[in-house]
């Protein structure tokens, strides 16, 4: 039996979450089903860091457990795969039965994942593993690093007992990221990125034995992964605070070449433009939220110095969504060419920038601090003449290419300050119609 951390657990989890956890723990003990809090949450509680979401593992049939909970407390149960991973979705009935006041609902999770302890075996490097239900000890052994392979037992009198068969606490104390077995990176090369992410996030070192396993064989398996899986690892880094340091480390450990050589030109330093204090810089611009904002902006900045062809290659290799490819390309071209546009009039800037996603313009602004880009984002792109196609029709013009040309001229006049009122616009329109 490991040390008991119930006090720390109580302190680290907030009101209604803790209450629900106690409830699950009590029910599990009635069923004599060992229930554990596992993975990242245990690590973060021991480190005294804020807890986001958490994973619960039962030794036994998690779906049967979830169904039992629903019978008693309402809600719904969703059973996922053939391994009977279950989600308990709470609803109004649940909250009433548990007597949780409505003001607490906001910080209450609306669902809990309940997972059966399982083993995983890798039949082929880089492929997804074969899974079988098993014990908590096996479940911890299938994990990536010792610091992610600890569990707090929750059921009954065991509440708060740590289960740490792989010495995660020791590595946590010594600030080390260590894999659980020699083939770890070959089985799943995404773990090389995960190692870097945790090391940089917590200011830990990758243990020397683990570092030596980031070798040619493991790197070689990277190219067998799907584009989505690889891209996801970068996306996770773009969500972090020290992204540029992580990407530097990815480069130093030579992980980029196996994905695509064009990535070697990518420049993580561009990311410091927004990683530092993103919220301060985004407030004044309204940039459409294409895909997930931070990830997209991360990619666009990272690839700013890569050539158009290079970006196309990377996009193919990492299965970029079309919008992302367009934004990355638009930004790279603008970043390369914009010095030549210095003397342009606002209308020239605007008609050029209208063809590029706003987020790409924003990215280049973050790096270059060019005033015209800022004016475009905050003002110019929204400038429109009063006249519309309908106005022109009323003036007796036939719809056709002339329409676009006239409206274009009117907008340019507003942008360049040649027209400053509706009256002046009308006078200009009179001239253009003639
Ligand atoms: P984060 O704070 O980054 O979300 P986390 O530990 O919660 O960290 P998840 O990606 O949510 O990370 O994974 C939950 C747990 O599942 C991990 O703590 C780890 O035990 C295990 N895990 C996740 N990915 C892998 C992997 N590729 N190989 C082995 N175990 C993994």
- What are 180's two structure tokens? 């659980």
pLDDT, one tens digit per residue, over 104-146 is 555 566 788 899 999 988 888 888 888 888 999 999 999 999 9
pLDDT number for residue 170: 98
Backbone angles phi, psi at 233, to 5 degrees: -65, -40
- List of E strands, 164-221: 176-177, 205-206
pLDDT number for residue 283: 55
Residue nearest to atom 15 of ligand 1 (CA): 39
pLDDT number for residue 80: 85
Using the mean position of ligand 1's atoms as its centre, give its distance from the Cα of residue 48 in Å. 18
Rounded to whole angstroms, the Cα distance separating 52 from 40 reads 9
> Is the Cβ–Cβ distance between 192 and 249 less than 8 Å?
no
Q: Is 118 in the pocket of ligand 1 (CB under 6 A)?
A: no
Q: What is the mean pLDDT of residues 361-382?
A: 90
Q: What is the mean pLDDT of residues 84-103?
A: 79
Please identify, by atom number, the ligand 1 atom nearest to the C-alpha of residue 194. 27
Using the mean position of ligand 1's atoms as its centre, give its distance from the Cα of residue 372 in Å. 44
Distances in Å between the alpha carbon of 10 and those of 4, 5, 45, 57?
A: 12, 9, 10, 19
- pTM: predicted TM-score of the whole model, two decimal places: 0.90
pLDDT number for residue 290: 44
pLDDT, one tens digit per residue, over 32-41 is 999 999 999 9
> Is the Cβ–Cβ distance between 310 and 265 less than 8 Å?
yes
Eight-class DSSP state of 386: S
Q: Is 184 in the pocket of ligand 1 (CB under 6 A)?
A: no
pLDDT, one tens digit per residue, over 279-310 is 555 556 655 554 457 889 999 999 999 999 99
Using the mean position of ligand 1's atoms as its centre, give its distance from the Cα of residue 178 in Å. 14
Q: Is 235 in the pocket of ligand 1 (CB under 6 A)?
A: no
Polymer length of the chain = 434
> Is the Cβ–Cβ distance between 155 and 25 less than 8 Å?
yes
Using the mean position of ligand 1's atoms as its centre, give its distance from the Cα of residue 118 in Å. 15
Distances in Å between the alpha carbon of 413 and those of 37, 252, 371, 384, 407?
A: 64, 52, 20, 10, 10
Q: Tell me how far apart the terminal alpha carbons of the chain are, to the nearest angstrom.
A: 92
pLDDT, one tens digit per residue, over 135-177 is 999 999 999 999 999 999 999 999 999 999 999 999 999 999 9
Q: Best substitution site from 43, 52, 136, 143 to test ligand 1's pocket, by max atoms within 8 Å of Cβ?
A: 143
pLDDT band at 94 (very low <50, low <70, confident <90, very high): confident
Using the mean position of ligand 1's atoms as its centre, give its distance from the Cα of residue 135 in Å. 18
Q: Is 39 in the pocket of ligand 1 (CB under 6 A)?
A: yes
């Amino acid at each position: 039996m490991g040390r008991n951390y119930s006090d720390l657990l109580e302190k680290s989890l907030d009101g209604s979450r803790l209450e629900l956890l106690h409830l699950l723990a009590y029910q599990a003990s009635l069923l004599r089903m060992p229930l554990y809090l596992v993975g990242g949450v245990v690590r973060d509680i021991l480190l005294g860091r804020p807890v986001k979401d958490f994973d619960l593992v039962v030794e036994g049939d998690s779906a049967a457990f979830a169904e039992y909970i629903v019978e008693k407390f309402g809600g719904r149960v969703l059973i996922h795969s053939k391994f009977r991973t279950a989600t308990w979705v709470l609803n109004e009935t649940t909250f009433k039965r548990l007597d949780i006041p409505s003001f607490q609902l906001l910080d209450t999770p609306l669902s809990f994942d309940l997972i059966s302890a399982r083993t995983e075996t890798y039949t082929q490097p880089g492929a997804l593993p074969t899974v079988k239900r098993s014990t908590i000890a096996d479940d911890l052994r299938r994990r990536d690093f010792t610091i992610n392979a600890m569990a707090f037992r929750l059921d009954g009198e065991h509440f708060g007992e740590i289960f740490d068969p792989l010495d995660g606490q020791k590595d946590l104390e010594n600030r080390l990221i260590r894999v659980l077995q020699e083939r770890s990176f070959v089985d799943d090369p995404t773990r090389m990125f995960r190692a870097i992410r945790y090391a940089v996030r917590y200011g830990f070192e990758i243990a020397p034995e683990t570092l030596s396993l980031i070798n040619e064989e493991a790197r070689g398996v990277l190219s067998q992964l799907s584009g989505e899986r690889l891209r996801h690892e970068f996306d996770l880094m773009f969500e972090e605070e020290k992204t540029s340091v992580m990407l530097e480390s990815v480069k130093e450990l030579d992980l980029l070449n196996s994905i695509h050589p064009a990535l070697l030109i990518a420049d993580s330093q561009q990311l410091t433009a927004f990683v530092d204090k993103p919220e301060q810089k985004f407030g004044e611009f309204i940039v459409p939220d294409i895909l997930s904002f931070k990830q997209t902006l991360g990619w666009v900045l990272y690839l700013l110095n890569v050539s158009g062809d290079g970006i196309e290659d990377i996009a193919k290799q990492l299965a970029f969504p079309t919008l992302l490819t367009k934004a990355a390309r638009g930004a790279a071209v603008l970043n390369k060419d914009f010095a030549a546009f210095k003397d342009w009039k606002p209308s020239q800037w605007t008609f050029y920038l209208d063809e590029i996603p706003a987020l790409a313009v924003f990215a280049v602004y973050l790096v270059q601090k060019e005033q015209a880009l800022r004016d475009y984002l905050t003002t110019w792109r929204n400038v429109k003449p009063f006249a519309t196609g309908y106005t022109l029709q009323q003036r007796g013009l036939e719809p056709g290419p002339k329409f676009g040309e006239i409206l274009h001229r009117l907008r340019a006049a507003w942008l360049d300050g040649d027209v400053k009122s509706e009256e002046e616009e009308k006078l200009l329109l009179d001239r253009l119609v003639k």
